[in-house]
Copies of this chain bind each other. A is one copy, B any other.
Amino acid sequence: MAFTVNVKNASGFAPALAEREVLAAHETLVNGTGRGNDFLGWVRLPLQNNEEELARIEAAAAKIRSNSQVLLVIGIGGSYLGARAAIEFVRSPNYNLVVKDSPQVIFAGNTLSAWQTAEIFDMLEGKDVSVNVISKSGTTTEPAVAFRLFREYMEKKYGVEGAKERIYATTDKAKGALKSLADANGYPCFVIPDDVGGRFSVLTPVGLLPIAVAGIDIRQMLAGAKSMAEKLIHDKSMHNPAWVYAATRNALYRKGYTTEIFASYEPRVRYTAEWWKQLYGESEGKEGKGIFPASVELTADLHSMGQYIQEGERFLMETVVGFAEADETLQVPFALKNEDGLNFLAGHAVSELNNMAEAGTILAHMDGGVPVMEVTVDNASAYCFGELVYFFEFACGLSGYLLGVNPFDQPGVEAYKQNMYALIGKPGFEDRRAELEKRL
A281 CB contacts on chain B under 8 angstroms: 304-305, 307-308, 312
A31 CB to nearest chain B CB (Å):
26
CB within 8 Å of B: which A186-200 residues? 198-199
Which residues of A from 414 to 439 have beta carbons under 8 Å from B? 415-416, 418-420, 422-427, 436, 439
Residue interface bits A137-180, CB-to-B below 8 A is 1, else 0: 01101101101110010000000000000000000000001101
Contact A339 B413 (CB under 8 A): no
Q: Give the chain B neighbours of A357 by CB distance below 8 A.
A: 112, 141, 416, 420
Q: Which residues of B contact A101 (CB under 8 A)?
A: none
Cα–Cα distance between A307 and B408 once the two chains are bound (Å): 12
Any chain B CB within 8 A of the CB of A258?
Answer: yes
* A76 proximity list for chain B (CB < 8 A): 299-300, 303
Smallest distance from the beta carbon of A21 to chain B beta carbons, Å? Answer: 21
Contacts of A340 in B (CB 8 A): 138-139, 144, 147-148, 177-178, 181
- Name the B residues within 8 Å of A93 (CB-CB): 116
Which of chain A's residues 311-368 have a Cβ closer than 8 Å to chain B?
311-316, 326-330, 332-333, 335, 337, 339-342, 344-345, 348-354, 356-357, 359-361, 363-365, 367-368
| A310 & B148 in contact (Cβ 8 Å cutoff) | no
How far apart sit A387 and B118, CA to CA, in the bound complex (Å)?
A: 26
Shortest CB distance A184–B (Å) = 7
Set of chain B residues within 8 Å of A337, measured between Cβ atoms? 184
B-contact bits for A256-271, CB 8 A (1 contact / 0 none): 0011000001111000
A102 to chain B, nearest CB (A): 15
Count the A residues whose beta carbon is within 8 Å of the partner chain — how many?
129
- CB-CB under 8 A from A352, the residues of chain B are 424
Asked if A96 is an interface residue, CB under 8 A from chain B, the answer is: yes
Stretch of A33-41, A42-50, A214-222, A285-293 at the chain-chain interface: A285-293
Chain B residues near A312 (CB-CB < 8 A): 281, 284-286, 288-290, 292
A277-B290 in contact (CB<8A): no
A109 to chain B, nearest CB (A): 10
Whether B267 lies near A282 (C-beta < 8 A) is no
Q: Does A117 contact B (CB under 8 A)?
A: yes
Question: Does A274 reach chain B (CB closer than 8 Å)?
Answer: yes
Do residues A425 and B344 form an inter-chain contact, with CB atoms below 8 A?
yes
Asked whether A78 is an interface residue with its Cβ less than 8 Å from the other chain, the reply is: yes
If A114-B329, A330-B114 touch, whether A304 touches B81 (CB-CB below 8 Å) is yes
Q: Check A304/B277 contact, CB under 8 A, given A98-B122, A345-B424.
A: yes
- Check: A119 CB closer than 8 A to any chain B CB: yes
Q: Does A97 contact B (CB under 8 A)?
A: yes
Q: Which residues of B contact A297 (CB under 8 A)?
A: 111
A94 an interface residue at 8 Å Cβ cutoff? yes
Contacts A281-B304, A313-B292, A360-B436; is A266 near B115 (CB within 8 Å)?
Answer: yes
Q: Which residues of B contact A81 (CB under 8 A)?
A: 304
Q: Write the residues of chain A forming the contact surface with B, with a CB cutoff of 8 angstroms.
A: 76-78, 81, 92-94, 96-98, 110-119, 122-123, 138-139, 141-142, 144-145, 147-149, 152, 177-178, 180-181, 184, 198-199, 258-259, 265-268, 274, 277-278, 281-282, 284-290, 292-294, 297, 299-300, 302-316, 326-330, 332-333, 335, 337, 339-342, 344-345, 348-354, 356-357, 359-361, 363-365, 367-368, 380, 410-413, 415-416, 418-420, 422-427, 436, 439-440
Q: Which 9 A-B pairs have the closest CB atoms?
A: A285-B308, A77-B303, A360-B419, A285-B312, A278-B304, A310-B412, A112-B354, A311-B412, A364-B415
Instruction: Pick 16 A–B contacts, CB within 8 A, sort by A.
Output: A81-B304, A92-B115, A97-B97, A110-B303, A139-B341, A145-B342, A147-B340, A259-B292, A302-B416, A303-B413, A306-B413, A307-B412, A353-B420, A357-B420, A360-B420, A368-B412
